[in-house]
Structure 1
Amino acid sequence: MTMDLAAIANKDRRFVIGLTSDASCVGVNAALVRIKGSGRGLAIKLMRSDAFPYPPSIRGRLMAPRLDGQEVCLLNFELGKRFAEAAVEMKHLAEEELFEVDFVASHGHTISHIPPRESRAFGTLQIGEPAVIAEVTGLPIVSDFRQRDMVVGGQGAPLLAYTDWVLFARKDRTVACLHLDGIATITVVPPELENVMAFDIGPCSIAVNGAVQLLSKGAQDADKDGAIAARGVVIDEFLDYLLDHPYFALEPPKSTGREEFGPDVYLRDALASRKSCGFEDLVATVTTALGFSIVRAYHTFIKPRHEIARLIASGPGTLNKVLWKHLIKGFPEGIVFTSDQYGIPSDAREAISCAILGNETICGAPANLPQVTGANRPVILGRITPN
């Protein structure tokens, strides 16, 4: 660690920009946060957050079923520029408030995530070149958080488990944090960090939006607020097919991504074989399957082990009224809330979490939870690109 980074680590408080890009390829989410301390004593305050959508050309390239090496190489630098532009905007906001940003924590955009399962080969790759972000912003960059956990036997996900505990742990009760983005992820947050449980449930907006894109042949790219699904009727046979995917039955720790639930893998053939079914009915069925998979995961893996006082949901899926209806119906009455009601904007939670992970890297604190990822020991995550 250089002297500059050591000085940052020794500060009483640090101002950090967190950057993320989800599996739905919508754009860059950014959060500017103030962090005091690290580890169990960490305290955080959100200063600003914003979203920076990708242009259709970039989004289309990211969502291609297959990317060759040359395309990945080019996109790595192009996304680096997009991430850098978002960071510069947040840096300017900080300067207007007369404080100085210390570093950027960038998750990047996941191109492929293949967790260890049985004896198969594994790996993970995020793009959005940190050297580009460092050059444009003039700030140190912390990135590539997943790799180190995987090297010591972990899934490399979900890494939000640690940050959920930092943000939402309470001394007197256990809560659950449900993140509804490209993939649906749930974290059980008890008072004790050692008892945190988390796993990827399965697809979320990656499936709903993917179904809309496939069925409309690209004319539409999302089901805004669940409006299409709300007009449809569930097709029971298709619902059973969607819920029969073997991933749902796997015991945690587990993680997943586009390799198993990308639209071209999970939905293309299934939708093509049901051409006689209505557009709205198919989207309604996919959305219902997501809701059922979340509720079923709670009853199968969580309820037998934990008593949940609150379910705190975040991510773009909270705006899908059909999905939200299934959650309200499937969970105990009165326990479902959004993170906005707890002071964490739903669309900023991942960027805030990335800032926390970067803070732990700078401070030399482990941020993976072996009981969650399956790693054989706690490790310091990430790598640092100097400014």
Structure 2
Amino acid sequence: MTPETADDSESTNRPATMSGTPDDDRNDRYAIGLMSGTSLDGIDAACCRIRGPSNPDDPYSYDLTIESFVTEPYSSEVRDRLVTVCDDQTGTVDEVCRLNVVIAEQMADLASRAWEAAGLTAADIDVVASHGQTVWHVPESESVPGTDRRSRSTLQIGDGCVLAARTGVPTVSDFRMRDIAAGGHGAPLAPYLDGALFAADDVTRAVQNIGGIGNCTLLPSSDSGDDIRAFDTGPGNMVVDAVVEELTSGERTYDVDGELAAAGEADTDLVASLLEDPYFDAEPPKSTGREYFGHDYARRLVERGKERRLDDEDIVATATMLTAQSIADAYERFAPQYPDEIYVSGGGVYNPTLLRMLRDAVDSPVARLSKLGVDGDQKEAALFSLLGITRLDGVPNNVPSATGSKEPVVMGKLSLP
């Protein structure tokens, strides 16, 4: 189908069947998925009912229904502490150590609220599965000092043992490292869910998340013979948020409803210059994060804008256009076939200026992911509930064509209560 181009469709918090429609309770299991993204805005929790696999040879043959969804923002104190540890100039090992427990405690509280909202108890839950909070991500292979080896690395905090102890439920965490150990980037993980839910027989689709970082899943039509391709397109809301925070001396942490960007005029020459960054030209698989497009990057962007005598609103508009144009350029450069349809989720859908710029930049209709019957706000937490169940089942749950892993692997570390 061709999506509508309007972006005013409302998301729903009602339970959503994500794949198939279970008609009875045979073989049903319940999982809590926990997600906190690079925007550092808070934690999402989805309580999901999962059945499967219906075909032991098909890792995608699970049914998933969201029974409840709850979210909790970080306090300003916790967010400030996270911003500090995500900066290599200010982060310290002792603070990472403390926050590893603080975040796990908050996640445990939210997990219990999720199963209670679904009318369940801890005894009903088979697994709690947590992405954790990323504080550092080094996806490119780099030399290990003092050796002749090279390695990639990533770190998500929110300890699984603490989660298991506080909830009384087996907990799976630290998903990304197993893919990295197999030679991958440990990202993106969303293609496992996207491939099962959103691929179509006769059209190619892009499922674009705009969180702190932008990431896309390029889904070929079933008759094309192409593999799923997925990667981080570059900054999502992260650079815009940091630019706003820099320009307002911390009084604002994001551009509410895209109003600042709407009041300015983007400097297209500066955007073109920013797009010359090597990250955008690099071939997938690739992933990125706050260590690359964080506050230092935003400060440099603001400085360049000031040098060009741009008003504050113009600088915010320029940062917003960078996100939109980097997404469009990624499709042009790396999509085996240009997508017929583009579906967007993540915090970026609430920025109408960003969505307008994205529509202007691409050659296909753009709609919210909710057009496909899935609330985009709930998708990533639901993803981890499924990844947790597949970990218990020993089913490979990475997508090597997306992460660059040498082979399919079973991601996630299990902690028992």
Q: Choose which of 142, 158, 165 in structure 1 pairs with 2:172.
A: 142
| Whole-Å separation in 2 of the counterparts to 1:93 and 1:172 | 38
Paired residue type of 1:69: V
Letter aligned with residue 323 of structure 2: L
Would you say the 8 A contact 2:35–2:381 is kept in 1? yes
Query: Are 1:209 and 2:258 an aligned pair?
Result: no
How many residues align structurally? 373
| 1:23 aligned onto 2:23 | no
**C-alpha distance in 2 between matches for 1:135 and 1:118:** 36
Quote how far apart the aligned CAs of 1:307 are.
Answer: 4.7
1:190 offset after TM fit, Å? Answer: 2.8
Kept in 2, the 8 Å contact 1:12–1:37? The answer is: yes
Partner residue, 1:94 = 118
The letter of the residue matching 1:324 is L
RMSD over aligned CA atoms reads 1.9
Q: How does 1:108-123 map to 2 (within 5 A)?
A: 108-117=132-141, 121-123=151-153
The alignment partner of 1:229 has SS state of helix
Say if 2:125 is the partner of 1:128: no
Partner residue in 2 for 1:253? 285
Among 51, 68, 91, the alignment partner of 2:92 is 68
Change (3 A) 1:232 1:301: same
TM-score if structure 2 supplies the norm length?
Answer: 0.85
Amino acid at match of 1:189: L
Secondary structure at 1:104 match in 2: strand
Counterpart check, 1:180 vs 2:210: yes
| Superposed displacement of residue 191, structure 1 | 5.1
**C-alpha distance in 1 between matches for 2:393 and 2:359:** 40
Range 152-161 or range 171-180, more displaced: 171-180
Q: Find the counterpart in structure 2 of residue 289 from structure 1.
A: 322
Shift of 1:356: 1.4
The answer (yes or no) to whether the contact 1:233–1:285 under 8 Å persists in 2 is yes
> How many angstroms does 1:194 deviate by?
7.1
* Residues in 1 aligned to 2:283 and 2:136: alpha-carbon distance in whole angstroms: 22
Tell me the secondary structure at the aligned position of residue 63 of structure 1.
helix
Task: State the shift of 1:211 in Å.
Answer: 0.6
**Equivalent residue of 1:255, what SS?**
coil
Q: Which residue of 2 aligns with 1:8?
A: none
- What is the Cα deviation at residue 89 of structure 1? 0.5
The residue type equivalent to 1:51 in the other structure is: T
Name the residue aligned to 2:16.
Answer: none
> Any residues of structure 2 matched to 1:17-56 within 5 Å, and which?
17-38=32-53, 39-56=59-76
- Contact 1:242–1:286 at 8 Å: present in 2 too? no
Return the alpha-carbon distance in structure 2 between the equivalents of residues 43 and 57 of structure 1: 39
CA shift in 2, pair 1:133/1:169, >3 Å = same
Between the aligned partners of 1:234 and 1:344, the Cα distance in structure 2 is 33
Query: Which residue number corresponds to residue 381 of structure 1?
Result: 411
Compared with structure 1, are the counterparts of its residues 237 and 188 closer, same or farther at alpha carbon in structure 2 (3 Å cutoff)? closer
CA shift for structure 1 position 286: 0.2
Instruction: List, as ranges, runs of 4+ consecutive aligned residues in structure 1 with deviation greater than 4 Å.
Output: 96-99, 191-194
- List gaps (5 residues or longer) in structure 1: 1-10
Tell me the SS of whatever aligns to 2:119. Answer: helix
**In structure 1, the residue corresponding to 2:251 is in which secondary structure?**
coil
Which secondary structure state, in structure 2, belongs to the residue aligned with residue 110 of structure 1? strand
Deviation at 1:93, TM superposition (A): 1.4
Please say if residues 265 and 313 of structure 2, whose CA atoms lie closer than 8 Å, have aligned partners that are also in contact: yes
**Structure 1 or 2: more helix by fraction:** 1
Task: Tell me the TM-score normalised to structure 1 length.
Answer: 0.92
The Cα shift of 1:327 comes to 1.9
Distance 1:96 1:362 in 2: 20
- Residue 349 of structure 2 contacts residue 368 of structure 2 at CA under 8 Å; is this kept in 1? yes
Deviation at 1:117, TM superposition (A): 3.5
Other-structure match for 2:276: 244
What does 1:351-370 align with in structure 2 at a 5 Å threshold?
351-370=381-400
Look up the SS of the partner of 1:109 in the other structure: strand
Assess if the C-alpha contact under 8 Å between 1:21 and 1:27 holds in 2.
Answer: yes
Q: Residue 21 and residue 196 in structure 1: after superposition, are their counterparts in 2 closer, same or farther (change >3 A)?
A: same
Partner of residue 5, structure 2: none
Preserved CA contact (<8 Å) 1:104 1:139:
yes
Please tell me whether the aligned partners of residues 94 and 100 of structure 1 are also in contact (alpha carbons under 8 angstroms): no
Shift of 1:61: 0.9
1:230 to 257, 262, 265: 262
CA displacement 1:241-276 (0-9 Å, x = unmatched): 322211000011111111211122x12133135434
Deviations 1:106-148 (A, max 9, x none): 0000011101347554211100111221122111111111001
**Residues 270/101 of structure 1: CA separation in 2 closer, same or farther (3 Å cut):** same
